[in-house]
């Protein structure tokens, strides 16, 4: 066995050993997750049973399954890297896959924050519309806001503070402005202004909420239209991302061995480093251009 293969198998064994240790050492969190997944842990027949009379292999299986479920999608970068490492007879692919995990985690978290922001913005729109309807049905502003919040969840994680101000006579506009600091909840600033005008000046709150809902809905439609127009730009970014894989496939189709050249020759190492840097810079620049268009 060559030195490269030895290093590859040693790395794979170390990876498996580390994963096994990570699965078995994380006591409480994985166990609680496994109990929620498989049962109440009361000593029955389910895999979630953790009582003293349950076989050890069942407890280990429940704990391991809980840990597997807690893994993020970013770890899916490792299996393709392992396949390329075996095909290319090099550990460089494993190193690249390991480096891609934190980058993918960051990308997934950013996408999750963006979706959460959009859901919160939609909740604010629904909150304004529902509150206006309740006001027209004859409810007082405080009661209408309570009912609308319970029906739409438009206040998000700040719901407790706002509802406490509503119930106990606090400064509702100030609480709404504080809630508007949450990403995507900017529309609550308009709700705070409508509330202040209605309370201080006696203006109709329902009419103000109607106008606010229309403005927020128009903003959302403009954002969706812009996203639709940028679909072609995102397709270009995706095409740029898969071009290296297409080049490798073309090399194989022509009878060459691109992995051997890239992973086992000094010239290939240089090309791999320069190409990876240029690919990363191109993707970063393209994504930045598209995101700037979305932000505008």
Which has more pLDDT, 160 or 44?
Answer: 160
Domain boundary pick from 220, 243, 266:
220
Do 243 and 212 lie in a common domain?
Answer: no
Domain boundary pick from 178, 200, 220:
220
Which structure tokens are listed for 132?
A: 């206006």
Do 134 and 195 lie in a common domain?
Answer: yes
- Residue pair 131/150 in contact by the 8 Å Cβ criterion: no
What are 64-74's pLDDT values in tens digits? 666 655 566 77
Do 122 and 215 lie in a common domain?
Answer: yes
What are 111-128's pLDDT values in tens digits? 888 888 888 888 888 888
Do 235 and 264 lie in a common domain?
Answer: yes
Domain boundary pick from 196, 220, 244:
220
Given a cut of 70, whether residue 95 has pLDDT beyond it is yes
Do 251 and 200 lie in a common domain?
Answer: no
In a domain, 14, yes or no: no
Given a cut of 80, whether residue 177 has pLDDT beyond it is yes
| H-state helical runs in 26-73 | 27-38, 56-70
In a domain, 62, yes or no: no
Given a cut of 50, whether residue 62 has pLDDT beyond it is yes
In a domain, 193, yes or no: yes
The pLDDT of residue 182:
84
Report which DSSP code applies to 157.
Answer: G
Given a cut of 70, whether residue 238 has pLDDT beyond it is yes
Which structure tokens are listed for 266?
A: 């000094």
Predicted confidence band of residue 201 (pLDDT cuts 50, 70, 90): low
Do 212 and 260 lie in a common domain?
Answer: no
Predicted confidence band of residue 203 (pLDDT cuts 50, 70, 90): low
Do 236 and 215 lie in a common domain?
Answer: no
- Mean pLDDT, the chain, whole residue set: 75
Do 212 and 259 lie in a common domain?
Answer: no
Give the C-alpha distances (Å, rounded to integers) separating 281 from 49, 67, 151, 237, 278: 51, 35, 46, 12, 5
In a domain, 61, yes or no: no
In a domain, 29, yes or no: no
Do 175 and 258 lie in a common domain?
Answer: no
The pLDDT of residue 288:
84
In a domain, 131, yes or no: yes
In a domain, 56, yes or no: no
What pTM, to 2 d.p., does this model score?
0.61
Average confidence (pLDDT) over 165-192: 84
In a domain, 31, yes or no: no
The pLDDT of residue 71:
65
What are 132-141's pLDDT values in tens digits? 888 888 888 8
Range of the domain at 241: 230-296
Q: Other CB atoms closer than 10 Å to residue 165's CB: what's the count?
A: 20
Given a cut of 60, whether residue 31 has pLDDT beyond it is no
The pLDDT of residue 29:
44
Given a cut of 50, whether residue 183 has pLDDT beyond it is yes
Do 183 and 237 lie in a common domain?
Answer: no
Domains in the chain, number: 2
Do 185 and 126 lie in a common domain?
Answer: yes
Do 196 and 250 lie in a common domain?
Answer: no
């Amino acid at each position: 066995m060559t030195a490269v293969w030895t290093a590859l198998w040693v790395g794979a064994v170390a990876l498996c050993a580390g994963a096994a240790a990570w699965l078995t050492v994380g006591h409480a969190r994985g166990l609680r997750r496994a109990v929620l997944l498989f049962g109440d842990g009361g000593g029955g027949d389910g895999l979630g049973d953790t009582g003293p009379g349950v076989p050890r292999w069942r407890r280990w299986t429940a704990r391991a399954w809980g840990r597997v479920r807690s893994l993020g999608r970013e770890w899916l970068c490792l299996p393709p890297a392992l396949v390329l490492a075996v095909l290319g007879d090099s550990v460089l692919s494993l190193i690249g896959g390991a480096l891609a995990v934190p980058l993918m985690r960051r990308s997934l978290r950013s996408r999750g924050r963006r979706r959460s922001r959009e859901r919160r913005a939609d909740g604010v729109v629904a909150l304004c519309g529902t509150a206006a309807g309740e006001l027209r049905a004859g409810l007082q502003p405080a009661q209408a806001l309570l009912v609308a919040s319970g029906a739409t969840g438009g206040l998000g994680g700040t719901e407790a503070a706002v509802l406490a101000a509503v119930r106990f006579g606090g400064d509702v506009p100030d609480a709404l402005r504080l809630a508007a600091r949450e990403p995507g909840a900017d529309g609550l600033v308009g709700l705070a202004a409508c509330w202040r005008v209605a309370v201080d000046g006696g203006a109709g709150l329902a009419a103000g909420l109607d106008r606010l809902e229309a403005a927020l809905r128009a903003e959302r439609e403009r954002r969706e239209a812009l996203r639709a127009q940028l679909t072609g730009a995102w397709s270009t970014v995706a095409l740029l991302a898969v071009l290296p894989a297409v080049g490798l496939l073309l090399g194989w189709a022509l009878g060459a061995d691109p992995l051997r050249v890239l992973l086992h020759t000094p010239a290939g190492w240089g090309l791999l480093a320069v190409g990876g840097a240029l690919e990363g810079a191109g993707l970063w620049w393209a994504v930045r251009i598209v995101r700037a268009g979305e932000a505008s």
